[in-house]
Amino acid sequence: MIRAAVFISGRGSNLAKIIQQCQAGTLRECCRLVGVVSNRPEAGGVEIAKNAGLPVIVFPAEKEQTREKYDKALLKKISEWKPEIIILAGFDRILSKVMVKAFPNKILNIHPADPKLFRGLNGYKWAFENRLESTRVTVHLVDEGVDTGPVLATAVVSLTGAASLEEVEARGLAVEHRLYPKAVRQFVLQLMAGRNH
């Protein structure tokens, strides 16, 4: 079992899928969720986590707080969970080197686009405004850049005929929800295999 903490900022639909898969799906025997962090008290994902009985830390950043200071304080808060990996699921803060160095190659993120083409927030808006025929949802490891770490898994989302941003997002999220638990599973199985050597 690999102990995982999930970081969120919003709706939490990916969190919900990962919880589902940990409870009764493909992650059941390899991934244990030890807690959820939200930097936003109003995030829908907070309720999802609480309803699933998971420990939740709501930890908004202070004004003027540096990313390093925030991450240092957050590391302290989550230390009792003893997470081995961090799963970012819509966490809208850029991680500092403090967090990245504490979990080297152990932080996963899902990005709604091909990071070679688009990095940062609002990837579906970008796809919609550019009238893309498809976009590529990407799961990657987090390094010190923004959406620059090694790619673990990708899936193409057809956007043909998608007439609104909502439609683009709905199609993208449906693909994310299948891809992310699968990619997490592959990743933790590899970690577990490495541990046994």
Active site residues: 111
Kindly compute the dihedral angle of the four CA atoms of residues 43, 162, 172, 154, in this order, to the nearest 10 degrees.
-150
Chosen residue from 110, 132, 152, 159 binding ligand GRF by CB under 6 A: 110
Chosen residue from 112, 115, 149, 181 binding ligand GRF by CB under 6 A: 112
Chosen residue from 176, 181, 183, 184 binding ligand GRF by CB under 6 A: 176
Q: Please say which residue, 112 or 181, places its beta carbon nearer to ligand GRF.
A: 112
Neighbours of 118 (CB within 10 A): 21
Measured CA to CA, the distance from residue 92 to residue 103 in angstroms comes to 18
Q: Please say which residue, 29 or 42, places its beta carbon nearer to ligand GRF.
A: 42
Task: Indicate whether 56 belongs to the interface with ligand GRF (CB under 6 A).
Answer: no
- 87, β-bridge pairs: 6, 108
Measured CA to CA, the distance from residue 163 to residue 195 in angstroms comes to 48
Neighbours of 67 (CB within 10 A): 15
What character string, x for contact with ligand GRF (CB under 6 A) and - otherwise, covers 4-43? ----x-xxxxxx----------------------------
Task: Indicate whether 179 belongs to the interface with ligand GRF (CB under 6 A).
Answer: no
Task: Indicate whether 90 belongs to the interface with ligand GRF (CB under 6 A).
Answer: yes
Query: Using CA of residue 104, residue 138, residue 75, residue 4, what is the dihedral sign?
Result: negative
Instruction: For residue 95, give the amino acid letter.
Output: L
Contact residues for ligand GRF, defined by CB under 6 A: 8, 10-15, 45, 89-90, 110-112, 176
